[in-house]
Amino acid sequence: MSFHCRFCNTLLKNTFVDLGSTPLANSYLPTADAPDQSYPLHVYVCSKCYLVQLHHTVSPENIFGHYAYFSSYSSSWLEHATRFCDKMKKRLSLNSSSKVVEIASNDGYLLKNFVAANIPCLGVEPAKNVAEVAIANGVPTEVVFFGKASAQALKDKGHAADLIAANNVLAHVPDLNDFVGGFKVLLKPDGVISVECPHLLKLIQQNQFDTIYHEHYSYYSLLTLEKIFAAHGLEIFDVEELPTHGGSLRIFASHAGKPRWPSSPAFAKVKQDEKHAMLDSLAGYEGFSKQVKTVCDGLLTFLKQEKTKGKKIAAYGAAAKGNTLLNVCGINTDLISFVVDKNTAKQNHFLPGSKIPIFGPEKVFAEKPDYLVILPWNIAEEVREQMKDIRSWGGKFVTAIPQLRVYE
C-alpha cells in the first residue's frame, strides 16, 4: 500500500520506525483469551516537509468510539491549565467582550477558568458524552469535529476568537490541512492561536518510541509546524518548551504578518536545536530505528537474565505507552508476571497483546517481586515515592526509557 504525506501530499518512502503490528494501546481485555486485533504501527517521515506520521488502517471511530478520558481526573494537569489561562488573560488583555474557543475541550477543565473570570468562551468537542459533562459544569460546548466547514459555521454564529487553544489534539488529527485551515477561518484579525503538542525532538533524543500508538497520527517539530501554519496563512511567532508528556511545545501563532508580540529567543533556540539535530534533513530521522532496537534489546536481556536467576518481576502502570513498549519488545507473562494500576476500571483486565493481568497496587505487597518495572516513565518519581516500601524486601525499581535503569 502506498501513502502520501498528510500535509504536503508527497509519496512517503522513508521509514522513521516500523514497530510491527500491535493492538490498540487502550483496548484492555476482559479475559486473557478475548479477541485481540493488531494493526500496523509503521511510522514514516516525509522527504519534503519532514512531517513524521503514521498512516492508520484503523478508523478514528474505532479508536475514539469509546474514548472516555476526562481530563479533570489529573490534578497536575488541572494546575497546568489554570496557569495557562491566567497567563493568557494577562498577555492578551482578555475581558468580558473577548472570546476564547478551545478545540477538543474535553469536559471543560480548561475553559472553566475563563468562565470563572467572566470571559466568554466556547468549547468544541466531538465526543458527545464528554461535552455533556462540560455543559453540565457551565462551560458552553458545541459537539462537532473541528475543520474549515465547522469553523465557518461557528464564525457565522458569532464565535470568531481572540484566542484559540488546542492542546494535545494536533497529534490526533487525520485531516491536518482541514484542521489548521479551520484556525485561519475562526481567528479574529488580531487573534492568537495557542497549540500544545509533544515535541518530536524530545521523542527522538529520549527514545520515547512508546509514545507512538495508533491514536497519534503525526509527530511534530517546530520547523515542520512552521511550514504547516504558513501554508494556511498563519505565522508562528513564539514557543515555550514544556516538561509535559516527556517534553512538549506550546506554540503561539497569528495571521501571517501580524505577530501579537515579538518572537522570543526561545523561538530561535528551538529551531536551532532542531537544525542541530538535523531535523531539516532525512539524516536526523535515520538513526531512530536503531535506537529503538537498542532499548528493546537492553530491556529483554535484563529481564531474561534476572528471570533465569529465579527473580520475580512485576510492572507498574497499565498505561498506553507501556503497551507499546511491551508489545514492540515482545514481552509477555513469561517475563513480567503481572502489572498493577490504581485505576480500578483497568484492574481485573489484561493488557492487550502481552496478556499480562492487571491488579491493584496491593498485589505488589502480597507478591513481593524483586523488580518493579515502571512503565509510565513520565511519572517514575511519583511511583517510586508511592511504592517505596518495596525496598523492605529488597525490591528494586526499573525504568526502560530513555535507557535501562535499575534504581539501586
Binding site for Zn ion (CB under 5 A): 5, 7-8, 10, 46, 48-49, 51
Calpha distance 350→338 (Å, rounded): 9
Closest CA to 41 of 389, 308, 390, 325: 325
**Looking at beta carbons only, is 164 or 228 nearer to Zn ion?**
228
Cell (9 digits) for 408: 539501586
Minimum CB distance to Zn ion, residue 408 (Å): 46
Closest CA to 274 of 103, 50, 61, 57: 50
**Looking at beta carbons only, is 3 or 365 nearer to Zn ion?**
3
Helix orientation angle between 222-231 and 265-276, rounded to the nearest 10 degrees: 110
**Looking at beta carbons only, is 11 or 32 nearer to Zn ion?**
11
Minimum CB distance to Zn ion, residue 151 (Å): 23
Minimum CB distance to Zn ion, residue 227 (Å): 8
Helix orientation angle between 222-231 and 176-186, rounded to the nearest 10 degrees: 60
Minimum CB distance to Zn ion, residue 9 (Å): 7
Minimum CB distance to Zn ion, residue 51 (Å): 5
**Looking at beta carbons only, is 51 or 165 nearer to Zn ion?**
51
Minimum CB distance to Zn ion, residue 47 (Å): 8
**Looking at beta carbons only, is 48 or 87 nearer to Zn ion?**
48
Minimum CB distance to Zn ion, residue 12 (Å): 8
> How many CB atoms lie under 10 A from the CB of residue 156?
9
- Reported in sequence order, the residue ranges of 89-208 that DSSP labels E, i.e. its strands, are 100-103, 121-124, 141-142, 161-167, 187-198
CA angle 388, 248, 109 (to 5 degrees): 80
**Looking at beta carbons only, is 9 or 38 nearer to Zn ion?**
9
Minimum CB distance to Zn ion, residue 263 (Å): 24
**Looking at beta carbons only, is 46 or 164 nearer to Zn ion?**
46
> Could you give the C-alpha distances from 196 to 13, 141, 202, 211, 404, in angstroms and in order?
28, 20, 14, 16, 29
**Looking at beta carbons only, is 48 or 304 nearer to Zn ion?**
48
Instruction: Count H helices and E strands in the chain, helices first.
Output: 13, 17
Cell (9 digits) for 405: 535503569
- Reported in sequence order, the residue ranges of 185-337 that DSSP labels E, i.e. its strands, are 187-198, 218-219, 234-242, 248-255, 313-316
**Looking at beta carbons only, is 7 or 229 nearer to Zn ion?**
7
Minimum CB distance to Zn ion, residue 391 (Å): 50
**Looking at beta carbons only, is 168 or 218 nearer to Zn ion?**
218
Closest CA to 47 of 2, 1, 15: 15
Give residue 207's identity as a one-letter amino acid code: N
200 in helix, strand or coil? helix
Minimum CB distance to Zn ion, residue 2 (Å): 14
* Helix (H), strand (E), coil (C) string for 5-50: CCCCCCECCEEEEEEEEEECCCCCECCCCCCCCEEEEEEEECCCCC
CA angle 290, 296, 299 (to 5 degrees): 140
